[in-house]
Amino acid sequence: MDPDAALITRAREGDTTAFQEIFQRHRGTVSRIVYRMIGPSADVEDVVQEVFLNVYRSLPKFRGDSKFSTWLYRLATNVTRMHLRRGRSRPRFTDVEVPETSRDGRPPETPDVQVERAERVRALYRLLDDLSEKKREVLVLHDLEGMPAKEIAETLDIPVLTVRTRLFYARKQLYAALAAEPSLEGVMKILMDKLPGKPKRRRKQDAVT
């Protein structure tokens, strides 16, 4: 039996440990989605907790028409969307620490490189703030979370074609914004200098799946 299905059945019967197991089993995935969606922020923990409160309360309504993971992604996306909407009227705390990159055996980055990378990540999230909610969600789920277009379509309950269209226009808008972003001017210049005649090839796997 699907472990999620068994947990849901137990939770619906009032087994409190089943709720706890759902949290422990899926908190990593939910945290990752929330973090990718809102970026480096002090609010990540609050949003993750809110997602699970909503998961608990909505479990009786889960009919099993879709996979539990798809339902969970949808709920996490909705809660994060509401959080971002509420946050629009509030100042953002951009001086939150950006976590280190996983180096996987590579030599550690120097502090200068780390600072530069953190600034680039912050710049990306600043630019993501300018995308519409719909474009941002698709772009984050596809490009940052690595979710296939078909699964995004199920999660957001939109046609696959719409996912592809939104992704295309979201990237297009970001390309223009990146080119005009002052904090990335130096990197842009280096990349531009490399380009004439023989631009560096882009990985195929990042094309729309």
Structure tokens at 182: 């002052």
State which of positions 60-119 bind another protein (CB under 8 A).
60, 82, 85-86, 90-91, 93-102, 115, 117, 119
> Among residues 133, 131, 150, 168, which one has the least CA distance to residue 209?
150
CA dist 76 and 31 (Å) reads 9
DSSP conformation class of 202: P
Closest distance to another protein from the beta carbon of 150 (Å) = 20
Residue among 66, 70, 129, 144 that touches another protein (CB under 8 A) = 144
Residue among 6, 9, 25, 45 that touches another protein (CB under 8 A) = 45
Residue among 3, 64, 108, 146 that touches another protein (CB under 8 A) = 146
Radius of gyration of the chain (CA): 19
Q: Which stretch, 1-9, 63-71, 120-128, 154-162, contacts another protein (CB under 8 A)?
A: 120-128
19 binds another protein (CB under 8 A): yes
CA dist 84 and 69 (Å) reads 22
Closest distance to another protein from the beta carbon of 2 (Å) = 20
Do 30 and 51 contact (CB within 8 A), yes or no? yes
